[in-house]
Structure 1
Amino acid sequence: MVRWWRGLVSRELARLRRDGRAAVLWSLRITVAATASYVVASQVFPGSQPLLAPLTAMLVVQVTPISLLASGIDRVVAVVAGVALAVAFAAVVPLEWWSLGVLILVSITLGQFLRLRENLVEVAISAMLVLGVGAIGAEAAAGQRIAETLVGAAVGIIATMVFPPKVATADAGRAIDGLADEVGELLTRAAGELDTMAEEEPQRLAGAAREWLGDARRITHDIPLVGATLLRAEEGRRLNVRAVRAPQVEPGLRQGLEALEHTAVAVRGLMRSVADAAEGGWLDEDAEDQPGDVLRDLAEAFRELANGVDAFGALVRHEGAAQTGPGRDDVARLRDAQDGMQRAAARLDAAMVEARHPDVVELYAATRTTVRRLQHELALDERVRRQLRLRPHRRMPTRGAARRRSTGDWPAPTGPDDETQVMPQLSDEPPADQS
């Protein structure tokens, strides 16, 4: 228990050191925007307490620069639609339980028709607040509510443009590395259990394989959450002045996520093959193939796969951290892991030739196929090719740039790991053989 608490405290302290400054700046951005919108609305409506303005500013500022325009417009449309309905209702019916129900029903239906997304409920909220004023003051409350919303949305947009949020590539890199860690931990744990079963009880493979398959399914189901983090990082670059001088690492992160997604699916298929093969009779003591040898071969292959996935995830995470970038150690580690997977593939080929039971041959073949798939997905060359395809289109080079290209007058790359610089900063077109 003491060790668990120490681990929890150490993790939280590490998270505080890593994200503390960004969290404080985020809180300050929202606070400044809300306070400024309240001050402006107070000047427009003296003697009132325009709390809707800071509320709108807080909601608008909590988005990326590219989406804040749509969020602000949707919120204004939602408020205008709600107060218009409230004015019409207040002029016809009193505030009763049935009228409130009808108003909410009509408001929600209208919001869906207008496709207001997350601001859908704001139509009904605005209508209820204005209807509560009554028929006499409904028009005045409606006008002030719309004006406060406009003030809050305007201040929120200005605050986001002047003080934009950071480009969250580092967060996306950590999320992608987290996916790699989950896959690597599954493979490492499975390898350890295979070693134990090889020495003691090979018959436990069926139950363990079902657990591994369940974990692999959970990992693949969580991939959309990682994709959402990367999408926020990609959207955060657009219309963000802080992204002008930041390196564009999003294509590398997108390629890393795609490679790890394919890897997770391949590992899930491998666990399915292990679970199916575990139902055969080759685990009996009198079988032609030695179950212990087969399980040890699988364990060694799983370890090499885990090393490759972990090395690839670390490389993507460091590339997402624009202030550091990938280092030579990351590249060397991934190359060593590729060599390890190549050795594992050779061992599986040799073992498959000597196998006798059909289920064992099929299990070796499935494992060999997975190794080959991960060799392709996690290879540096494949990473470069995919990033070039994911690179956004750039305008045609100038005539002077074309002359420099034709003469080959380019300065030498200066990055620490030129083979991982996936978007050449000097060339505007990908090589013909990599397109």
Structure 2
Amino acid sequence: MHLWNGKGPRVREERREDRGEWATSVAQLVKRRREPVVVQALRSAAAATIAYVVALHLSPEPAPLTAPLTALLVVQVTLYATITTGVRRVNSVVAGVVVAIIFSSLVGLTWWSLALLIVASLAVGHLVRVSEFVPEVAISAMLVLGVTRVGDIAWARVLETLIGAVVGLACNLVLAPPVWVGVAGESIEDLARRMRQLMLRIGEEAAGRTPASLAAARLHEARRLDHDIVEVDAALRQAEDSLKLNPRVREGLLHRVVLRTGLDTLEICTVVLRVLARSLTDLAKEREPEPLFDPQAGAALEQLLSEVADAIVSFAVLVTTDVSHSAESAEERLAAELTTAAATRDKLAQLFLEGVQRDARHWQLHGAVLAEVNRMLDELDTEHRSRRLLEELDRCTREQRERWPRLTRLRANVRRLRMPRRNRRPASRRSM
């Protein structure tokens, strides 16, 4: 007993704590490995390695680094971007090699021929429409022109580029790229919650004595929401690309339209919120040091902004929800919140009318506040959203039919073949 000195249980407890921390770390690692960023890093590394191994056996170059570089660039975040990037990159390399072969047979490598080569390569890059890979045309031309065995090097560079592009595309087909809809949905919900917090602060301050400086500060916060809109729009564009040509996604067009129209609605609400903050700022300047509204009207406005803020968050949850049951509950909650907010708006309108009858000063600002809140309620209305969805779906479907008529006919034939025989439309027969 004297040898342990009472430390045995303590050591065992420390070991259990270490095992618990280790298990927590492993759980976090397993959770993180499913994140789109981690998945993308692993896919890119795997594609580059496989492309390098394949190029070692096929390319005459001792270190064919063009193949893994191409695979790394081709394996983009989405399958749609991968295909378009692969095609443009192969075109840029081939165009650069052709320009280099022409220059090597005519003038060779001098300082003035190098300048002409760069100008010609950049011009050819714009002609073949390789987009962001225009500098790659000049790079390929310079690398090929700077060696003695132009033909061998040119062939090796084209071969390595093709290997990298094929391996990158194969990796995207075998290991489907991550779908970034979840990330875009989180961005939309975060934007809605930031709008809610700002509206709550505006409502609390409008119910009491609001200095003009404080109202102006809230106006600047509303203006900064424009930067958040830009970030959310970038995340949504990435999500839209991840839904295109992705074998794991069904009804990708519907998902894209739902998210895009949802962000459009939030963007309109952001603009209206900025205008509302401007109206309250002007009112604070006119009435300082008096309160902005009567006590009853101020309390009603605070309640109304709180209800509209909750509706904005419910709307964001609705447009980012995939499961039909959850979407129905979110739509019911949004409808109930909008009904409550409409009743509070009517109450506030009556209070404003009574206040204007007693004191007609600044009546236009009171009316502007009411009109701006009413505009947000109209944008969040479920019927308005349904009409917007149908219009956008019709527009996108019409554009697809006009852009790819053969693909549209092929899809229609496939769907018709998949239908049960009794549901198929009978072929027209000539009357006897």
Whether TM-score is above 0.5 comes out as: yes
Distance 1:219 1:40 in 2: 49
After superposition, the C-alpha distances for 1:8-51 in whole angstroms (9 at most, x for unaligned) are xxxxx999786541333322221221122112211112562111
Corresponding residue of 2:334: 334
8 Å Cα contact 2:244/2:252 also seen in 1: no
Amino acid at match of 1:82: G
- Report 1:243-282 matches (<5 A): 243-244=249-250, 248-280=254-286, 282=287
Change (3 A) 1:278 1:172: same
Corresponding residue of 2:17: none
After TM superposition, the score normalised by the length of structure 1 is 0.75
Distance 1:17 1:294 in 2: 53
Corresponding residue of 2:109: 94
Query: Are residue 308 (structure 1) and residue 311 (structure 2) matched?
Result: yes
Distance 1:348 1:157 in 2: 59
Amino acid at match of 1:315: L
Distance 2:108 2:87 in 1: 30
8 Å Cα contact 1:56/1:149 also seen in 2: yes
Cα RMSD of the aligned pairs, angstroms, is 3.3
Distance 1:40 1:154 in 2: 11
Corresponding residue of 1:149: 161
Query: Are residue 65 (structure 1) and residue 71 (structure 2) matched?
Result: no
Change (3 A) 1:140 1:254: same
Compute the displacement of 1:346 (Å).
Answer: 1.8
Compute the displacement of 1:166 (Å).
Answer: 3.0
- Report 1:199-210 matches (<5 A): 201-202=209-210, 204=211, 206-210=212-216
Change (3 A) 1:93 1:291: farther
Corresponding residue of 2:387: 385
Corresponding residue of 2:118: 104
Compute the displacement of 1:154 (Å).
Answer: 1.3
Q: Number of matched residues? A: 376
Compute the displacement of 1:332 (Å).
Answer: 4.7
Change (3 A) 1:245 1:266: closer
Distance 2:318 2:237 in 1: 19
Distance 2:297 2:139 in 1: 65
Which secondary structure does the structure 1 equivalent of 2:176 belong to? coil
Corresponding residue of 2:181: 169
Corresponding residue of 2:288: 283
Corresponding residue of 1:415: none
After superposition, the C-alpha distances for 1:214-238 in whole angstroms (9 at most, x for unaligned) are 2223323442432333333233223
Compute the displacement of 1:384 (Å).
Answer: 3.1
After superposition, the C-alpha distances for 1:276-326 in whole angstroms (9 at most, x for unaligned) are 33332x3354x9x85666544443332222111122122223x1xx46872
8 Å Cα contact 1:212/1:271 also seen in 2: yes
Distance 2:189 2:228 in 1: 13
8 Å Cα contact 1:42/1:50 also seen in 2: yes
Change (3 A) 1:74 1:333: same
Compute the displacement of 1:124 (Å).
Answer: 2.1
Corresponding residue of 1:344: 344
Identify which of 218, 238, 259 aligns with 2:224: 218
Distance 1:86 1:77 in 2: 14
Larger Rg over CA atoms: 2
8 Å Cα contact 1:177/1:316 also seen in 2: no
After superposition, the C-alpha distances for 1:230-258 in whole angstroms (9 at most, x for unaligned) are 33323322322111488953332233222
Change (3 A) 1:402 1:15: farther
Identify which of 240, 247, 251 aligns with 2:246: 240
8 Å Cα contact 1:283/1:291 also seen in 2: no
Corresponding residue of 1:28: 42
8 Å Cα contact 1:172/1:233 also seen in 2: yes
Corresponding residue of 1:55: 69
8 Å Cα contact 1:95/1:132 also seen in 2: no
Query: Are residue 192 (structure 1) and residue 204 (structure 2) matched?
Result: yes
After TM superposition, the score normalised by the length of structure 2 is 0.76
Distance 1:219 1:42 in 2: 51
